[in-house]
């Protein structure tokens, strides 16, 4: 599966359902799925939900998590 496939699947999911798989969610926020999985296990990542045995991320939760990390100044700018 290529990144283009993930992009298409994420776009389709966004139109039909606000929930994304780990792979789709990772692509949506520009992380690898492994990084997103590590963040989930350490509690550093966006909120997620369990639908049966499946982990799903709501697009609004991904957007909120990303927005909360917005920076206007880096340590190098001081």
* Residue 39 half-sphere exposure toward CB, CA atoms < 13 A: 18
In the block, which residue shows the tokens 């994304």? Answer: 20
Q: How far is CA 19 from CA 14, 45, 56, in A?
A: 7, 16, 6
Q: pLDDT tens-digit profile of 29-39?
A: 999 999 999 99
pLDDT at 37 (0 to 100): 96
Q: pLDDT tens-digit profile of 19-71?
A: 999 999 999 999 999 999 999 999 999 999 999 999 999 999 999 999 999 88
Q: Above 60 in pLDDT, residue 78?
A: no
């Amino acid at each position: 599966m290529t990144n283009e496939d993930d992009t298409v699947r994420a776009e389709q999911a966004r139109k039909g359902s606000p929930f994304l798989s780990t792979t789709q969610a990772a692509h949506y926020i520009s992380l690898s799925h492994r990084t997103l999985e590590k963040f989930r296990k350490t509690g550093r990542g966006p909120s997620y939900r369990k639908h049966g045995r499946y982990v799903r991320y709501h697009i609004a939760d991904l957007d909120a998590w990303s927005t909360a990390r917005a920076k206007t100044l880096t340590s190098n700018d001081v």
